[in-house]
Amino acid sequence: MPAPDQHRLIFAHIDEPGYSPDLACYQKHGGYAVMKRAFARKPEELIDEVKRSGLRGRGGAGFPCGVKWSLVDRKSGKPIYLIVNADESEPGTFKDRYIIHQDPHQLLEGTLIACFANNVKQAYIYIRGEMPLGARILEKAIAEARAANLVGPNILGSGYSCEIYVHRGAGAYICGEETGLIESLEGKRAHPRIKPPYFPAVLGLYQCPTIVNNVETLCHVKHIADMGGEAYTKIGTPNNTGTRIFCVSGHVQRPGYYEFEAGKITLGQLLNEVCGGPLPGRTFKAVIPGGSSAKILRFGERFKGKRKVGAELVDYDWGVEDVPMDFDSLGMIGTMGGSGGVIVMDDSVNMVEALANINAFYAHESCGQCTPCREGSLWMKKITTRMVHGTARAEDAALLKSVADQIPGRTICAFGEACSWPTQSFLAKFGDEFKNYTETKQGAPAPATLI
């Protein structure tokens, strides 16, 4: 079956010749018209539209955005804050960066609509420390919008006022975790908070109710406000509405970003047709479908079970290529849609070395708060690094699995899962390579420098 065409909703103008990130260009393309219309409506209606749209958060967890908004404590009398999570740091993900660099006003418009819907007077864009250019572009965009009375007091005479500030992180993956982000925004170390009691919807930024949404999610909000929640559900598949941006990297002919209706394209179509298949003379070996913390899939494995189609349960028997790219299908086969970062590895990749790379990343990024993640991530890194650059032992595979099994579900935030799932899944899918690494490595240590 041929792959469907791209459905460019969020990325409509990305890399469009002649499209620039300034306000004039955005307004020429109809910018801020949606916001003007939205400001004429009741905030509750907008929240209902987002609920009806079924929009799921694009940061990784896929939590329904409307539900997140409805959990906000609106009776406390405290101000409600909105934070735009622009700390895109999951390896393999590069969608928010394009939005910020090339279409910042789309984000601002979505943010302002979300703020208006939730009666937010102050919003913060928390941008990753490694994206200084993006921060400058956003600051310029906000200044332009403020000059045009699109941000600030009494926006376009509507009586509604909202400020947006850009805050730069200092370069830590954990700042993408919403409570870690809030701590960082408050000027502290980004140690994620314990939940309960510190649910952002109740006790978030400065102990006030806070909404934390991903950049792409807020852009979707703009389009939902534009077309209505009902129309938005027509895009994509039930429970996986709207479009998804896939950031494909690794061993394919045409890596890059692609936007499709959620669930309408399979992994095989995406890699083989859209991305042009494997490099000449190579075959696909493995793919991580949702950012480096998602569990890896091995080409050739099959997934069987029953799934809901409409009201019925239908049998499915999928190879990796047959899996529809949506939150639920990827969840069913034991991995996740995550942030949409698709990392492809072909037969030239040694899986032990690939895992050593991932483990080095997570050991470096663990915040150091919870014992299992703090010690476990570094231990796994030390084992895989030693396997690659030193002496691999026969018992290392079992030890790695045992260490990884001691982490998930026992930490404050989801980093425990993020750092252990790669090791768990690499060992489950490619255990043979880890067990045989002793033989294959002897006399031939990897040429790379120590990680």
Partner 1 sequence: MIQPLPSDLITVNVDGQDIAVPKGTNMIEAARLARVEVPHYCYHPKLTISGNCRMCLVEMGLPAVDPATKAPLMDPATGKQKINWMPRPTIACATNASPGLHIRTNTAAVQDCRNSVTEFLLINHPLDCPICDQAGECKLQEHSTAYGRGYSRFVEQKNVKPKRTQLGPRVTLDDERCILCSRCVRFSKEIAQDDVLGFIDRGSYSTLTCYPGKQLANNYSLNTVDLCPVGALTSTDFRFKMRVWFLKQTPSIDCESSVGANTEVWSREGVIYRITPRQNDAVNDTWMADSGRVLFKEVSAADRLSGATLNGAQVTQGKALQAAVDLLSGRGGRAESGAVKGVAVVSSGRSTVEEQFLTRKIADKLNATVALVSRVGVGDKILVSADRNPNIRGALVTGLIRALPEQKLTALGAAIDAGQIQVVLSMGEDLIAAGLTEAQQAKLAVIYLGTHQNATSAVASVVIPTLTVFEKAGTLVNQQFRLQKFARAVPGLAGVSDDLVTLSYLLNALGGTPLGATLGALWPVIAAEVKVLAHATYDTLPSTGLLLDSASWAGLPFVEGETLHFKPVAGPGVTS
Closer residue to partner 1 in complex, CB, 1/449: 449
Site size for partner 1 (CB under 8 A): 33
Closer residue to partner 1 in complex, CB, 245/373: 373
Stretch that binds partner 1, among 61-69, 283-291, 329-337, 406-414 (CB under 8 A): 406-414
Closer residue to partner 1 in complex, CB, 297/413: 413
Stretch that binds partner 1, among 291-299, 327-335, 345-353, 375-383 (CB under 8 A): 375-383
Closer residue to partner 1 in complex, CB, 140/393: 393
> Are 219 and 106 a contacting pair, CB within 8 Å?
yes
- Give first-to-last CA distance, the chain, whole Å: 43
Q: How far apart are CA 215 and CA 117, in angstroms?
A: 17
* Position among 223, 374, 401, 429 found at the interface with partner 1 (CB under 8 A): 374
To partner 1, the closest distance from the beta carbon of 182 in angstroms equals: 16
To partner 1, the closest distance from the beta carbon of 350 in angstroms equals: 21
Closer residue to partner 1 in complex, CB, 87/261: 87
* Position among 41, 298, 382, 435 found at the interface with partner 1 (CB under 8 A): 382
Stretch that binds partner 1, among 4-12, 47-55, 126-134, 366-374 (CB under 8 A): 366-374
Token pair in block for residue 268: 């095989």
Within 8 A by CB and 6+ apart from 150, the residues are 23, 32, 35, 108, 112, 156
Closer residue to partner 1 in complex, CB, 108/400: 400
Longest dimension (CA), the chain: 74
Angle between helix 215-227 and helix 95-102 axes, rounded to 10 deg: 70
Q: Which of residues 226-285 bind partner 1 (CB under 8 A)?
A: none
* Position among 137, 330, 378, 392 found at the interface with partner 1 (CB under 8 A): 378
To partner 1, the closest distance from the beta carbon of 372 in angstroms equals: 6
Closer residue to partner 1 in complex, CB, 170/313: 170
Closer residue to partner 1 in complex, CB, 172/211: 172
Within 8 A by CB and 6+ apart from 208, the residues are 76, 78, 79, 80, 81
* Position among 4, 238, 409, 445 found at the interface with partner 1 (CB under 8 A): 409
Residue 146 carries which side chain, given as an amino acid letter? R
Task: Work out whether strand 302-309 and strand 81-86 pair parallel, antiparallel, or are unpaired.
Answer: unpaired
Q: Which of residues 185-214 bind partner 1 (CB under 8 A)?
A: 189, 191, 194, 196-197
Query: Residue 347, CB half-sphere, CA atoms under 13 Å: how many?
Result: 9
- Build a one-symbol-per-residue string for 144-173: x at contacts with partner 1 by CB under 8 A, - elsewhere: ----------------------------x-
Using rule CB under 8 A, residue 128 touches partner 1? no
To partner 1, the closest distance from the beta carbon of 405 in angstroms equals: 8
Using rule CB under 8 A, residue 334 touches partner 1? no
Using rule CB under 8 A, residue 129 touches partner 1? no
Residues that bind partner 1 (CB under 8 A): 172, 189, 191, 194, 196-197, 363-372, 374-379, 382-383, 386, 393, 399, 402, 406, 409-412
